[in-house]
Amino acid sequence: MSAASLDSGRSGRIGKMLIRATVLGLFAFFIFGPLLNLVLWAFAERWYFPNKLPSQFGFSFWARVFDPRGNAMASLLTSVGIAVTTVVVCLAIAVPAGLALGRLQLRWRGAIMLVFLLPSAFPNLPVYVNIARVFYELGLNGTVAGVVLVHAAHGLVLAVWISAAAFAAVDKALEEAGRNLGAGAWWCFLTITLPLAAPGIIAGGIFVFLESLDEFTGTFFVGVPDVITLPLLMFNASMGGNYQIASITALLLLVPSVGFMLLVERFLKPNVMATLGR
């Protein structure tokens, strides 16, 4: 090999490296640029066009958000309360259904599966609009109970899918061994099947919690004017031009979402996630 071709090989490699670094850099800017901009706004005391950066940084808006008597803390409490109740309601309905779909030989299984696929195959806006219309007549609009019902119905599909997958993955031989040793069906379920399916069910519960915490459209129609969750508070602040309060609230909502994203691959591998039917 001549020196010249060796040299062109090296410069080709450097060229490739530069292209790779540039493309990755641009992609990193695409992912993190928007988040960085949000963080800047969260700590900006004053920021007017055409200033490139905020003219003053500070924490006065954080003090306002974290004021125990302020709107934001009340919204945070409302949001967490609604999300926890939603998880309880949702799992109480989804775990039995998941057991039946994942474990038992069901008649009309295909049709039942179809029903549980439907909600993710259609836009949910018409659903929320018309639930709100019925809830208004029932006096459920603007109540926490109404919002919990909407969130639970929304989270149910995912919870059923995940718990069905969790129960289907439990080895039947273990249960049979328990039965052969003389344990009753209920005892077997409580001490063998349920504990083995628990990690999947907990993952489903976390999903439902996050979906409820982040839900906007349903709450927008059903919760107004009295139930102000964190996403609604953020929306009102942003539309009112208060970017600092909106950005701080957005950061509060970001933390659990990003944390879950980083943790989720521990118990749900990408190839499992890909088969989740969502």
Partner 1 sequence: MSSAAEQSSPRATWAGMALVSPALLVIVVFFLGPLLASVVSSFQTKAGAWTLANFDKSFELYSGDVWYTAVIVLVSTLVVGLMSVAIGGYLTLGTNPRAQGVLRWLYRWPLFIPFIVAGQVMRTFLAKNGLLNQLLIGSGILEPLAAQSYLDWRGIVLAFVWKQTPFVALMVAGAMAAIESDHIEAARNLGAGRLRILFEIIIPQIRRTLMVGLVLSYVTMLSVLSVPMMINPNSPTMMTVDVAYRINAHGDYGVANALCLISLLLASVGAWFYLRHGVARKGVQ
Query: What is the Cα–Cα distance from 244 to 40, expressed in whole angstroms?
Result: 9
Site for partner 1 in 78-137 (CB under 8 A): 93-94, 96-97, 99-101, 104-107, 109-110, 112-134
Smallest distance from the beta carbon of 22 to partner 1, in angstroms? 11
Stretch binding partner 1 (CB under 8 A), from 39-47, 75-83, 137-145, 194-202:
39-47
Contact of 198 with 133, CB cutoff 8 Å:
no
- Residues 49-68 touching partner 1, rule: CB under 8 A, are 49-52
Position among 20, 55, 73, 171 found at the interface with partner 1 (CB under 8 A):
20
Total residues in contact with partner 1, by rule CB under 8 A = 99
* Options 1-9, 59-67, 77-85, 211-219: segment touching partner 1 (CB under 8 A): 211-219
78 vs 247, which CB is nearer to partner 1?
Answer: 247
CB 224 within 8 A of CB 141: yes
Q: How is 43-107 classified by DSSP, letter by letter?
A: TEEE--TT-SS-SEE-SHHHHHHT-TTSHHHHHHHHHHHHHHHHHHHHHHHHHHHHHHHHHS--T
- Choose among 165, 32, 45: nearest CA to 97: 165
What is d(CA 113, CA 157) in angstroms, rounded to the nearest whole number?
A: 10
For position 37 contacting partner 1 by CB under 8 A, the verdict is yes
Residues 138-177 interacting with partner 1 (rule: CB under 8 A): 149-150, 152-153, 156-157, 160, 168, 172, 175-176
Asked if 190 touches partner 1 (CB under 8 A), the answer is no
